[in-house]
Amino acid sequence: MMKWWFLFSLWLVTGCLPQPDSEVTKAQPELVVQGRAMPGLATLSGNIGVYIEQDRMPEAITREDGSFAFSLDGERLEALRLQYGLQDPRLHLYFVSESGFAESAVLDVLNIQSRGVMDLGDVVLQPDTTVNGRVVASGAPVADARVRLGRQEVFTAVDGTFSATVPAQLSTPLLVEKRGFVQTKGTWLPGGQARDVELYNDLTPAGSIEALPVPRILGNEPISLSYSANGAARWIRFAGSPEALTEAYNPEAPWQDLRQPLQIMGAEEIYYQFADRDRKILGPVQSYTLTVAQE
């Protein structure tokens, strides 16, 4: 009798214990992000913080060799999606040096729909540089507009101007907001010249593009573009003539995703058009003339 009671008790206790396989699977993070952050200055020492978007606390601090790793479970991924109101799954990662040297990097690579291990490899930081701009609406300066360049947030002066620091040779996310205007999102391209950012109080026109001055001989090299557009804009398409953009679909002028870097082949005059996430056209066909760099 004692033997059977002992076996029954052992079975009962064992059955109440968590099963190893199921618990390990449940405990595993849904997304692991890893890589190595490399300072751009040989004399740089100190830790590097890895941040998601505007979060104030870093997800990770690099080790002595620059390596980092952090995990995001399903609850955290859903919280990020709700926090940033994403219609798409991509988030920015920011790498910020905590030493006395101003260096940073920004990557648009964190896909919160991914699962498993995401290895970013080596992320090279760059010296930060100061950039200047002006927020305007119909040509008039806009004061006290909130400008977010990367993780930096500043407000425009009475004349609409602002200054911020960004990685010297990397495109940086741009967001501009002001009560009474449509939220403007875009990309700040590398370069030292001051730029105007347009705010709109309706959905037309949807936005504008610009490029750094390009050399007189372009060859077959693509040209990088920056843009500012209202929050409804999600797609853009380019053509060499306005007629090519009046059709529903033109293989010579395919839609490009505004979440990806914008590049076009060289042309003196560019025609373009914005659309929303459902590719419903926003505003009229617009044109842009490339500026030729001084020789």
DSSP string for residues in the chain: -HHHHHHHHHHHHHHHSPPHHHHHHHHS-SEEEEEEEE-SSTT--S-EEEEETT-SS-SEE--TTSEEEEEE-HHHHHHHHHHTT-SSSEEEEEEEE-SSS-EEEEEEEEETT--EEEEEEEEE-EEEEEEEEEEEETTEE-TT-EEEETTEEEE--TTSEEEEEEETTS-EEEEEE-TTSB-EEEEE-S-SS-EEEE-BSSSSS-EEEEE--B-S--TT--EEEEEEEETT--EEEEESSGGGGSSS--TTS--EETTS-EEE---SEEEEEEE-TT--EEEEEEEEEPPBPP-
Of 8 and 32, the structure prediction assigns the larger pLDDT to 32
Does residue 31 carry a pLDDT above 50? yes
| Residue where a domain stops, chosen among 69, 96, 124 | 124
Flag whether 4 is in a domain: no
Q: Output the average pLDDT for the chain.
A: 78
Flag whether 43 is in a domain: yes
Stretch 195-215: mean pLDDT, rounded? 75
Does residue 156 carry a pLDDT above 90? yes
The domain that contains 206 carries what CATH number? 2.60.40.1120
Flag whether 229 is in a domain: yes
Top mean pLDDT of 118-122, 152-156, 186-190, 267-271 is at 152-156
Q: 154 and 83 share a domain?
A: no
What pLDDT was estimated at residue 205? 61
Confidence of residue 8 (pLDDT cuts 50, 70, 90): very low
Q: 148 and 278 share a domain?
A: yes
Q: 173 and 109 share a domain?
A: no
Does residue 239 carry a pLDDT above 90? no
| pLDDT tens track for 65-88 | 888 999 888 888 888 878 776 666
Confidence of residue 211 (pLDDT cuts 50, 70, 90): confident
Flag whether 295 is in a domain: no
Flag whether 294 is in a domain: no
Structure tokens at 138: 């119909």
Q: What angle do CA 94, 111, 146 make, to 5 degrees?
A: 45
Confidence of residue 160 (pLDDT cuts 50, 70, 90): very high
Q: 16 and 113 share a domain?
A: yes
Flag whether 76 is in a domain: yes
Task: List the domain range (segments joined by +) for residue 156.
Answer: 129-289
Q: 116 and 139 share a domain?
A: no
Q: 243 and 214 share a domain?
A: yes
Residue closest to 53 by CA, chosen among 33, 34, 80, 72: 80
Does residue 264 carry a pLDDT above 70? yes
What pLDDT was estimated at residue 45? 57
Q: 248 and 201 share a domain?
A: yes
Q: 73 and 153 share a domain?
A: no
What pLDDT was estimated at residue 158? 95
| Residue where a domain stops, chosen among 84, 101, 124 | 124
Q: 31 and 96 share a domain?
A: yes
Q: 206 and 66 share a domain?
A: no
Flag whether 1 is in a domain: no
Confidence of residue 289 (pLDDT cuts 50, 70, 90): confident
What pLDDT was estimated at residue 248? 62
Q: 151 and 228 share a domain?
A: yes
Does residue 163 carry a pLDDT above 90? yes
Confidence of residue 2 (pLDDT cuts 50, 70, 90): very low
Structurally, the chain folds into a number of domains equal to: 2
| Residue where a domain stops, chosen among 78, 102, 124 | 124
| pLDDT tens track for 119-138 | 888 888 888 888 999 999 88
Q: 109 and 196 share a domain?
A: no
The domain that contains 32 carries what CATH number? 2.60.40
Flag whether 3 is in a domain: no
